[in-house]
Structure 1
């Protein structure tokens, strides 16, 4: 099938919410434009960083619509449409196709431990319904418990040509290597671990879906652009900053530090979706100091 291969740094964006937990459409518009102006190569809404599994079906659709409309073809938008409920995943994927997204990414079924036939049926059912729409498998076994093997991925891709890529957030670099060796040369393999972007690009990866890029796209984009320019030293320095930034964000409760750091940059991400909690004033002050020490805030 004809599709534009996604390459470079794709920002896994937060979902801005108001203080009463409603979708903040204006701030989502601001965030989308902020990232594009900073040179991001793509946008990934409603994933883990975007709290997709906590949003209602209608909220997920609204986030997708706003992001696609505001990006306006300037960069590709890949919507996360995965769900434990196959019918919901299918509805969200059809919606992503119909609003003009550049593709959809899906986690496998979660909570229950499932076998390969269940995973095959889940992706095959969706792929058949959107046979001309690009799909990406989203491998994140630490969160969903069920891993995608290279064998399963190769079978899915051979049976459904519209399965064009994978986001590998397994945190195991050997998985990335095995996917790279197993899949065709034009298959899109996106690193989902911000600490391994440099290494994955050296090994022939297409790019990365990066959470840190939703707040600080500059150093993440720098990794990719410097490697393209064959400036290895500059790329490695940027990767070092991103590794430290990732460690800072991961030292706080989920999602909250990304939204708080965005406020430092003038974008109100609001509160995390309940039951997740915002940072305390003391945590916010500490986060600002840590980011300033990295030279990331003016």
Structure 2
């Protein structure tokens, strides 16, 4: 993620007189910061979990209640860090495991080359989901 390029792009797009372009971040572990830098929203894999908390964060930000929005983001950050920890390619499997733990999916099956998570990774995800009162 190049913050300077993002800011430059936001400036150019927001200066448009006929602004019909919305600026979305795709950087799941930089959501709040992207809003601060001018994003209007996001297209995020992380958006499938902690939906209510993320929606609340976006609402608070939209109401210019930045400190409260940041507090919500800080609360979610440990889960974001687990989901997108190395190897990052396993984030889909981690999201699926979280959704199984939350009762949303029945299985976290992934096709090769993705691999199932270790018991330790499952334990870490479960621990933070409990801490966030999501399970």
Give the TM-score band, short-chain normalised. 0.7 to 0.9
Alignment of 1:65-214 (within 5 A): 171-183=1-13, 184=16, 185-214=19-48
Equivalence for 1:236 = 70
RMSD over equivalenced CA pairs, Å: 2.0
Q: Contact 1:260/1:284 (CA < 8 Å) preserved in 2?
A: yes
Higher strand share: 1
- Residue by residue over 1:125-178, the C-alpha shift from the partner in whole angstroms, topping out at 9 and shown as x without a partner, is xxxxxxxxxxxxxxxxxxxxxxxxxxxxxxxxxxxxxxxxxxxxxx22212112
Following TM superposition, by how much is the alpha carbon of 1:203 offset from its aligned partner in structure 2, in angstroms?
3.5
CA distance in 2, matches of 1:204, 1:252: 28
Between the two proteins, the alignment pairs up a number of residues equal to: 127
2:113 match: secondary structure: coil
Note the residue ranges of structure 1 that are not aligned, 5 or more in a row.
1-170
TM-score (structure 1 length as normaliser): 0.39
Equivalence for 1:285 = 123
Alignment of 1:268-279 (within 5 A): 268=105, 269-279=107-117
TM-score (structure 2 length as normaliser): 0.79
1:222 match: secondary structure: helix
Verify: 1:246 aligned to 2:76, yes or no.
Answer: no
Higher helix share: 2
Following TM superposition, by how much is the alpha carbon of 1:229 offset from its aligned partner in structure 2, in angstroms?
2.1
Q: Contact 1:176/1:191 (CA < 8 Å) preserved in 2?
A: no
Following TM superposition, by how much is the alpha carbon of 1:263 offset from its aligned partner in structure 2, in angstroms?
0.5
Structure having greater relative contact order (Cα 8 Å, sep ≥ 6):
1
CA change 1:199–1:252 in 2 (3 A) is: closer
Which structure would you say has the larger Rg?
1
- Residue by residue over 1:194-235, the C-alpha shift from the partner in whole angstroms, topping out at 9 and shown as x without a partner, is 333223323332211122221211222122100122222220
